[in-house]
Amino acid sequence: EVQLVESGGGLVQPGGSLRLSCTASGFTFGRFWMNWVRQAPGKGPEWVANIKHDGSDVSYVASVRGRFTISRDNARDSLYLQMNSLRVDDTAVYYCTREWRPFYHDSGSDTWGQGTLVIVSS
Amino acid sequence: DVQLTQSPSFLSASVGDRVTITCRPSQGVSTYLAWYQQKPGKAPKLLISAASTLQSGVPSRFSGGGSGTEFTLAISSLQPEDFATYYCQQLNSYPWTFGQGTKVEIK
C-alpha cells in the first residue's frame, strides 16, 4: 500500500522552529517529486514547496522562501521540511504529498499523508 | 501568481442531479490543471489531472474538461458520497495555486 506518514508538528512560539518529517512506503520514493501542502483552519489548501526526485531542484511559495527548507533522503524514503522564523500565519495542517507521475512535477498529488498540525502561538 | 477563481463557491443539489463547477485561471495554464475532492477532516483526493484524465478508481460520473483559462468539473449524477468541497489546482507556473473551493451540499 502506498503510504505517507508525517510527524513533527506541534505548538511553537512565534519566531521558533520545527522540523517536519514524512516517511514513505509502498513505492519507489526516489522516482517521485514530492510536495508539502498546508491548510489553515477553515481555508483551502496552499502549496508550500516541492523537491525533485533526486533532490537537485526545489521551489517554494514566496511567503516561506528563506524561512523554510525542503529536503529529502532517498535512502531513508523520507521527506523533510525545516521551518524557521515561524509566524502565526504559518498555523496549519501540513501535508506531505506525492506527485502522480514518476519524474514529473506538474501532474497533481495522488497520495497525501494524514497531515501534521503546526500551531504557532504565544 | 496565477489566481484561480472557482464558481460557484457554494452549490446546493439533490442526489441524481448533474452539477458543473468552473475554474478560471487569471492567466492561461494550458492543461496543467487538477481537481480534488475533500471531505471534512480528510486530506484532499485527486480526481482529475491534466484537465481531463480521470484518476484510477474515480467513478466515471466525474469528468473534467477545458484548457487555457476555463475549466470544468462535472458530476453526471450526484451521489450521497459526492457531497464535499472541490478544489482546482494549477501546475503550469510556480507557485502552484489552488482555487478557493466549491462546497457541494445536499438540497
Q: Tens digit of pLDDT for each residue in A8-47?
A: 999 999 999 999 999 999 999 999 999 999 999 999 999 9
Write the burial class of residue B4 (CB in 10 Å: 0-12 exposed, 13-18 middle, 19+ buried). Answer: buried
pLDDT of residue A24: 98
> Is B28 an interface residue toward A (CB < 8 Å)?
no
In this complex, which of B46, B92, B96 lies closest to A47 when CB atoms are compared?
A: B96
* Cross-chain residue pair A106–B95, CB shorter than 8 Å: no
Per-residue cell: B31: 492543461
Look-up of cell digits 519566531: A15
DSSP three-state, residue A57: coil
Q: Give the start-end residues of each E strand in A52-114.
A: 58-60, 68-73, 78-83, 92-99, 109-112
pLDDT of residue B106: 87
Give the residue-averaged pLDDT of B69-80: 97
| Position B33 pLDDT exceeds 90 | yes
CA distance B99 to chain A (A): 8
> Is B49 an interface residue toward A (CB < 8 Å)?
yes
Span A72-93, pLDDT tens digits: 999 999 999 999 999 999 999 9
Q: How far apart are CA A37 and CA A20, in angstroms?
A: 12
